[in-house]
Amino acid sequence: MSNKVIVLIVSTLLLAACGSIPQHKAATPPVTTTAPGSGGYLEGDGPGADAPANIDAIPDAVPKNEPLHRYANRPYKALDKAYTPLTITGAFKEHGIASWYGKKFNGQRTSSGETYDMYSMSAAHPTLPIPSYARVTNLANQKSVIVRINDRGPFINDRIIDLSYTAAHKLGIVGSGSAEVEVESIAATANVNSIASSNVQSQPLPPAAPVTATPAATIPAASAVIAAPVATAPTATAPITTPLVATASPAGNDAGVYLQLGAFSSQAGAEAYLDTMRGKLGDTGKQLKLSSKDGLVRVHIGPYANQSEARGSAEEMESKLGFKPMVNLP
């Protein structure tokens, strides 16, 4: 066999070996396993053997102004689904399932380029700005933590956030692997100590009264959005403490159902957001309007004949907005 043939064979084998090296991707969510005492996490993942003795004393992340990452906030695709990251903080809230990731990803690069530290107070989220901060509340025990978003994920199992091991531990979900949580984006200017983790209302919301116009000279900056989830909006300056969730109305009382796109503490913020929604949604055949209640100016679209029609419309809007509007009942 000639030297030329030998070199060609060796080169081919080397190329095949390089092609099989796994490439790091944004963290995927834990998958519940059945191993005794393992909790629910990806096979091969789990708690590290060198967890700090004072893990409960590790402080929450402290929101601060940071420039957005140049690349981590661009639109992207994962598992054939398109995502459009938000670029403004303090205007997003959602309910869903949280999971956590640990030793399998510890020390790897996150989407921000930083090294993942499972003992820090961080998290991965599909669309929240990188870097940014979020309050995560375990709805089963009302424990809350503040984490820094520095990674993308999770992308499967309909989970909305992947927490670091420490954040999951402080929320009491390490053993179970997942839990239903509320995720609320926090602007760096917000007074996080005054953001209460109050119980979610379970009764339907009454119709909102018309908005009374406020002179432009006296309008303050927009504050955090109450509806979940909400896309880009002006940065928050005043914390809002009562999450609102509409529930099913009595049978036969669905007329005049609206979708809520956002809620603001200022007229100016709501009007700016309404213009943004009008540009993103285009002509839907439905009315975009402002309604006021309990000191909040809400951005609604509708009306819909019933909840089923409203939910179908919300599904269609999700791809355009990057979030699913909530149903607001009459």
Instruction: State residue 3's pLDDT score.
Output: 55
Instruction: State residue 276's pLDDT score.
Output: 82
SS3 label, residue 32: strand
Cα 87 versus chain centre, distance:
12
Q: Which of these, 104, 96, 97, 98, lies nearest to 42 by C-alpha position?
A: 104
Gap between the Cα atoms of 76 and 275, Å rounded: 25
Q: Which of these, 260, 218, 232, 273, lies nearest to 132 by C-alpha position?
A: 232
Q: Please determine whether the domains at 55-190 and 198-328 fall in the same fold group of CATH.
A: no
CATH of domain 55-190: 2.40.40.10
Question: What are the mean pLDDT values of the chain's consecutive 10-residue runs (330 residues total)?
Answer: 51 39 38 40 72 90 93 92 91 91 90 94 96 96 96 87 95 89 88 38 37 34 36 36 34 63 76 83 88 78 87 83 74
Q: Quick one: 198-328 is in which CATH superfamily?
A: Sporulation related repeat (3.30.70.1070)
Query: In degrees to the nearest 10, what's the CA dihedral of 21, 24, 29, 32?
Result: 30
Instruction: State residue 224's pLDDT score.
Output: 34
Instruction: State residue 123's pLDDT score.
Output: 96
Q: Would you kindly state where each structural domain of the chain is located, as residue ranges?
A: 55-190, 198-328
Q: Which of these, 303, 223, 318, lies nearest to 265 by C-alpha position?
A: 223
Please enumerate in sequence order all residues whose Cβ is within 8 A of that of 143, keeping only pairs 6 or more positions apart, or say none.
137, 170, 171, 172
